[in-house]
Structure 1
Amino acid sequence: MKLNVTEMGEGAPVVLLHGLLGAGQNFGAVQKALAADGFRVLALDLRNHGASPHAEGMGYADMAADVAETLRAEGAWPAAIIGHSMGGKVAMALALAEGAGVSRLLVADIAPVTYPSPLFNAYIAAMRAIPLRPGLTRREADAALVAAVPAAPLRAFLLQNLVFTSDPPAWRIGLEAIAAGMPDIGGWPDLPGRYDGPVLVLAGETSDYVQPEHWPIFQRLFPAAERAKIAAGHWLHAENPQAFLAAVRGFLTA
């Protein structure tokens, strides 16, 4: 499917792929900075996210095919691909399937392995339980998430997906398809091939998503992979944007 794209700047194409329950807009500051550096920066909404179409299935082969179709349609092929979390898995799947279209790959705080996802399952269950009645306010929706999502910034992140300008409010994301696809999202398929281009695995120092035991898997699939860490947790581009941008700039211009 053709995905929704927000584009800024001119130059060599750089593609930004967001994480679960996010959208391309989450990379807004990064996109503006890289566009100012002389890159053509495309932030995509993955399927069932943001303003992109909804569809059954959240497998990484399908999501990577969506990205490839979109970039070809946009004339942004090949491109440097930057993916965070779920978007990082999509980026890796794309590089393995269509390496000629990936000039270089930055994987932000995720590994090509299966993760347990009890927290995100709880978040999604709480989102699905919000009563979408006429007159529902943002404050009421926020209150409905407190038990499952104690952190206010995370609740605000999740509620960016709820459209309050409609009556009753409605999810703009394909929440049911995402819920059904959680086993695939948390997992990692046995994909063939390998990608020999430049790869940077950028992890957050206080995140536990990328572990030493994951490195042999990276090396098997991405023989040229290098690794680095910045002072941040899992949402490293939001928690430490300056360090994230410095790492991205260094990698794109290496």
Structure 2
Amino acid sequence: MKLHFRTLGAGEPLIIMHGVFGSSDNWQTLGKVFSKEYKVYLVDLRNHGNSPHSEDFDYDFMVGDVVELMSDEGLSKSHILGHSMGGKVAMHLATKHSEMVDKLIVVDIAPKYYPPHHHQIFEGFHAVDFKNLQNRKDADKQMSAVISNIGVRQFILKNLDRKKDGSFEWKLNIAAIENAIEKVGARIEGDVSFDGATLFIAGGTSDYIDNEDHDLIRSYFSKADIVPVEGAGHWIHAEKPEELGQIVIKFLAS
């Protein structure tokens, strides 16, 4: 699949991949920071953002998409950064195609299994009635009946797109993601590893990476450093962008 992406800057390549329900837009601010030293590829994974939709949705397909992108761009090797689901894609890419990965950065996700926990977000998507939608404010009001957190609603509503005829649609392939949500939480399987330079960045208040996960991480990524960002939850790039940016830049320059 030909993924939608945009590039910023020049230098060694750095591919950035977002989490589930996200898009390349989520990383635009930090992408500009990194683009001072690197050629940054901000990618929309399949079924997200402006990339094509498909019923085929698991890590094998997503990794294949990134391999195709790198081949099309003439990239034999790249730094790889992924957040949450994008971090899982990054881990799978590094362990299956280690020769294509220079330095690996994984943001707030471990190689373990995560049970589905996005029920409320799916309810939020389904709560929006496009037949009675005049603007984004209407969508937010409809969604507030099931999601009280305005920050979560704003994150979801970034996926709302106005068509040429003035009506609205979701950029996301909600049905495919919902049908495959169990696969999104899948762990890294098999006797695979990546022995290159690796950095795991954990949100200090997030429960996605526990101390008990450190041994599991290093069983797959022998050179992994694990760095917490205090005061940050799961969306570190939105909550603590300066701190995250400094950690990434220091690691890539080392």
Distance 1:157 1:12 in 2: 30
How much does 1:165 deviate? 4.1
Greater shift in the superposed pair: 86-95 or 148-157: 148-157
For residues 2-36 of structure 1, give each alpha carbon's deviation from its aligned partner in whole angstroms, at most 9, with x where no partner exists.
21111011100001100110001111111101112
- Alignment-mate amino acid for residue 171 of structure 2: R
Matched, 1:72 2:39: no
Distance 2:56 2:112 in 1: 19
- 5+ residue gaps, structure 1, are none
Matched, 1:21 2:42: no
How much does 1:149 deviate? 2.0
Distance 1:175 1:62 in 2: 17
Distance 2:175 2:188 in 1: 22
Written as runs of structure 1 = structure 2, the 5 A alignment for 1:95-134 is 95-118=94-117, 120-133=118-131
- Show the counterpart of 2:141: 143
Q: Partner of 1:209: helix, strand, or coil?
A: coil
For residues 95-142 of structure 1, give each alpha carbon's deviation from its aligned partner in whole angstroms, at most 9, with x where no partner exists.
011010000100100001111333x22211320232111643211211
- Alignment-mate amino acid for residue 12 of structure 1: E
Answer yes or no: is the 8 Å Cα contact 1:16–1:43 preserved in 2.
Answer: yes
- Alignment-mate amino acid for residue 18 of structure 1: H
Distance 2:215 2:77 in 1: 27
- 5+ residue gaps, structure 2, are none
How much does 1:56 deviate? 1.2
- Show the counterpart of 1:162: 160
TM-score, length basis structure 1: 0.95
Greater shift in the superposed pair: 90-99 or 147-156: 147-156
Distance 1:57 1:113 in 2: 22
Written as runs of structure 1 = structure 2, the 5 A alignment for 1:1-254 is 1-36=1-36, 38-118=37-117, 120-133=118-131, 135-166=133-164, 167-231=166-230, 232-254=232-254
How much does 1:153 deviate? 2.0
Answer yes or no: is the 8 Å Cα contact 2:79–2:102 preserved in 1.
Answer: yes
Distance 1:193 1:115 in 2: 19
Q: Partner of 1:112: helix, strand, or coil?
A: coil
Distance 2:252 2:236 in 1: 18
TM-score, length basis structure 2: 0.95
Greater shift in the superposed pair: 55-64 or 227-236: 55-64
Answer yes or no: is the 8 Å Cα contact 2:203–2:233 preserved in 1.
Answer: yes
Answer yes or no: is the 8 Å Cα contact 1:27–1:43 preserved in 2.
Answer: yes
For residues 29-57 of structure 1, give each alpha carbon's deviation from its aligned partner in whole angstroms, at most 9, with x where no partner exists.
11101112x21000100000000011113
For residues 81-105 of structure 1, give each alpha carbon's deviation from its aligned partner in whole angstroms, at most 9, with x where no partner exists.
0000110001001001101000010
